[in-house]
Amino acid sequence: TEERLRHSELLSTLGELAAGVAHEIRNPLTSLKGFVQLLQKSDLQQAYYYTIMLDELDRINNIVGELLVLAKPQQLVFERESVGQIVKDVLALLQPQANFHGIELVFEEDGLPAIDCEGNQLKQLFINLVKNAFEANATMVKVMIKERDGYISIRVQDNGCGMPPERLTHLGEPFFSVKEKGTGLGLTVSYRIVEAHGGKLTFTSEVGEGTVAEVLLPIKNHTSV
């Protein structure tokens, strides 16, 4: 227990540090991006290099954004909200991206149950899971939501590349990524969000067949956060 306590203290100190650093990085990053965009417009010959620079700036921005979510949240506001509606909103947000990549996005719901939750965090969670499904070369991503045994189950199923068993054990480790442009923070953030809701996140996967990510969120009000 003492070991665990020290571990959680360390994590919260790290969280505060990450939040501070991430905020400080955001501002110069935004200004850098503006100047690169300006140069790109005035120097058409080198436009390609500026595009690469902008891509890399976006990449840093993504990492910083995820660090901010990871960082100790200032104040989580839990409100009664429909998880189903949140999932629906996320899918509407990602539909253009699915169309662009020729991915069929399917939503199956059986009511849109409400629970006490942090809407913004859940939104971030589902974006992370659905984006991973897109990035696994899936042609179909199916999101199913249903109630069972006091939990709301949200399953994100894809028919993409899948994962070998060995990789499953590393999911959620900070910076664990096998993608060329990955941050390896998406699932770290995702596990953190599910934990904050007293829920569970599990993965089942088969190489060449696809992956199912399942989020279980307790329906019962939780009093302590």
Q: Minimum Å distance from CB 35 to ligand ADP?
A: 27
Q: Report what 145 binds from Mg ion, ligand ADP, none; CB cut-off 5-8 Å by kind.
A: none
Pattern 31-70, binding to ligand ADP, x per CB under 6 A?
A: ----------------------------------------
Nearer to ligand ADP (CB atom), residue 82 or residue 137: 137
Sign of the dihedral through C-alpha 52, 100, 70, 34: positive
Asked if 182 touches ligand ADP (CB under 6 A), the answer is yes
Q: Is 129 helix (H, G, I), strand (E, B) or coil?
A: helix
Q: Report what 133 binds from Mg ion, ligand ADP, none; CB cut-off 5-8 Å by kind.
A: ligand ADP
For residue 64, what are the β-bridge partners? none
CB 76 within 8 A of CB 225: yes
Q: How far is Cα 134 from Cα 139, in angstroms, rounded to an integer?
A: 8
Only one of the segments 5-13, 73-81, 95-103, 156-164 lies at the binding site for ligand ADP (rule: CB under 6 A); that segment is 156-164
Closest Cα partner for 158 from 97, 207, 89, 88? 207
> 104-109 and 210-218: which strand pairing?
unpaired
CB 149 within 8 A of CB 115: no
Write out the residues near Mg ion by the rule CB under 5 A: 132, 186
Q: Minimum Å distance from CB 99 to Mg ion?
A: 20
Say how many residues make up the chain. 225
Considering only 90, 125, 133, 193, the residue that binds ligand ADP (CB under 6 A) is 133
Sign of the dihedral through C-alpha 98, 164, 125, 157: positive
Nearer to ligand ADP (CB atom), residue 18 or residue 36: 18
Which uninterrupted H or E stretch holds 167? Answer: helix 165-168
Asked if 86 touches ligand ADP (CB under 6 A), the answer is no
CB 213 within 8 A of CB 144: no
Q: Minimum Å distance from CB 139 to ligand ADP?
A: 13
Q: Minimum Å distance from CB 154 to ligand ADP?
A: 14
Q: How far is Cα 83 from Cα 117, in angstroms, rounded to an integer?
A: 8
Considering only 61, 85, 177, 204, the residue that binds ligand ADP (CB under 6 A) is 177
Nearer to Mg ion (CB atom), residue 10 or residue 93: 93
Q: In sequence order, what are the residues at sequence separation of 6 or more whose Cβ sits closer than 8 angstroms to the Cβ of residue 29?
A: 57, 60, 61, 64
Nearer to Mg ion (CB atom), residue 132 or residue 159: 132
Site residues (CB under 6 A) for ligand ADP?
A: 128, 132-133, 136, 158, 160-163, 171, 176-179, 182-187, 211
